[in-house]
Amino acid sequence: MESLPRYIPEHANPLRALSLAELRQRTSEKWRVYPQDVLPVWVAEMDVLPAEPVAQAIIDAVRLGDTGYATGTAYAQALSDFAAKRWDWRTLAVERTAIVPDVMLGVVEMLRLVTDPGGRVIVNSPVYPPFYAFVTHMDRQVVEAPLGADHRIDLDVLEAAFRAAGATGERVAYLLCNPHNPTGTVHTEAELTAVAALAAEYGVRVVVDEIHAPLASPDVLVPYLSVPGAENGLSLMSASKGWNLAGLKAALAVAGPAAAEDLARMPAEAADGCSHLGVIAHTAALRDGVGWLDALLVGLDENRRLLAELLADRLPSVRYTPAEGTYLAWLDCRELGLGDSPATRFLERGRVALSCGTYFGTGGAGHARFNLATHPDILTEAVARMAASIRA
């Protein structure tokens, strides 16, 4: 077996570094759930080599035997510095952060702080499936406030959900995804400011999953806690998606100034399970991996354009609007007449695995999520197989 290159040049497109044969050597979920003849463009893993500073930090730690328990504020300081430089967000205070094992476990801890058992948590459907699973498993109720047809927050629908949930007299939370998974929508400053105003009016606490924040152009992404009126919000952030570190678990809970006391009530054991190597890797990514990230964003833009061109040529009935954030493409396949789960046809007859839209709640039927963070040749082959599955 030919050995893989250890790194790629900092400004080279990370998505062009690995061939399909090399990727099939991986043992992660993306590459082992389906048989070898299936092209996987589903779960949110990227087909990239790590940024050199990240890989080197992990190697150095292992050589030192530095494989114990996570501690300290280096990760939080790196995120604060990154946020100031990247998004001009200069009020991310290290003292208002806490390490958590990953974003969804952090979401659970934040919701426990601001809602009661049996209480309501509002989400914008279609949305990341674990929002439903984790919320219901922690004995809360999911209330949907569907996105508009343009995949943006419908403020009238959201206000109606806030009003109805608040009328019960219970503590209500709004679990916001920014940027949004699966649509890739990046919420604007005006939208987020309007959300904060509505939350204040109806007494709703906002908890934000911002794991995909690095995967949007820095002149587009606005962190929720940076907008006026969001002072009592809570955010979960991580380098996981931006630098492909899902297997090195680590995330940060971040509190707005008026939510510091809430975060202080989070039990210390909530940090248990966070990977020390994960903290080291995420810290290195935020501090020294920005050049790699910028090259990735260029590559993702190229893949978005490529996907749009391929679909227009080979599957013109599939509706796709290239998004400003994430590496996910939300495909409207309803005109193909394949029922609620077009991903089933693409898998069974095309041997290409996409995420089924029905898993994302209301608005997901007839849709599929396509992970475009892969080599352009793999992306091209995946669309070719999808098109062939319709003719079969």
Q: Please check whether residues 91 and 134 belong to one and the same domain.
A: yes
Q: Please check whether residues 305 and 244 belong to one and the same domain.
A: no
Instruction: Write down which residue in 262, 288, 314 finishes a domain.
Output: 288
CATH number at residue 328: 3.90.1150.10
Residue 174's contacts (CB-CB under 8 Å, 6 or more residues apart) are 121, 122, 123, 158, 162, 195, 199, 204, 205, 206, 207
pLDDT, residue 6, reads: 58
Instruction: Write down which residue in 268, 288, 308 finishes a domain.
Output: 288
Q: Is residue 203 part of a domain?
A: yes
Instruction: Write down which residue in 237, 271, 288 finishes a domain.
Output: 288
Q: Please check whether residues 219 and 86 belong to one and the same domain.
A: yes
Q: Is residue 165 part of a domain?
A: yes
Q: Is residue 56 part of a domain?
A: no
Q: Is the whole-model pTM more than 0.85?
A: yes
366 is in which domain, residue-wise? 14-50+290-391
Residue among 152, 105, 129 at smallest CA distance from 266: 105
**Structural tokens at position 59:** 């190697």
Per DSSP, which regions of the chain are E strands? 39-40, 97-100, 120-123, 141-144, 172-177, 204-209, 234-237, 251-255, 328-332, 352-353, 355-356, 367-371
Residue among 49, 23, 45, 46 at smallest CA distance from 36: 23
Q: Is residue 306 part of a domain?
A: yes
Q: Please check whether residues 174 and 207 belong to one and the same domain.
A: yes
Q: Please check whether residues 185 and 75 belong to one and the same domain.
A: yes
pLDDT tens across the length of the chain (392 residues):
344 445 677 779 999 999 999 999 999 999 999 999 999 999 999 999 999 999 999 999 999 999 999 999 999 999 999 999 999 999 999 999 999 999 999 999 999 999 999 999 999 999 999 999 999 999 999 999 999 999 999 999 999 999 998 888 899 999 999 999 999 999 999 999 999 999 999 999 999 999 999 999 999 999 999 999 999 999 999 999 999 999 999 999 999 999 999 999 999 898 888 999 999 999 999 999 999 999 999 999 999 999 999 999 999 999 999 999 999 999 999 999 999 999 999 999 999 999 999 999 999 999 999 999 999 999 999 999 999 999 86
Q: Please check whether residues 132 and 256 belong to one and the same domain.
A: yes
The pairing of strands 120-123 and 141-144 is parallel
Q: Phi first, then psi: what are they for 148, rounded to 5°?
A: -75, 175
**Structural tokens at position 151:** 């995949």
* 370 and 332 Cβ atoms separated by less than 8 Å: no
Q: Is residue 3 part of a domain?
A: no
Q: Is residue 4 part of a domain?
A: no
Q: Please check whether residues 261 and 182 belong to one and the same domain.
A: yes
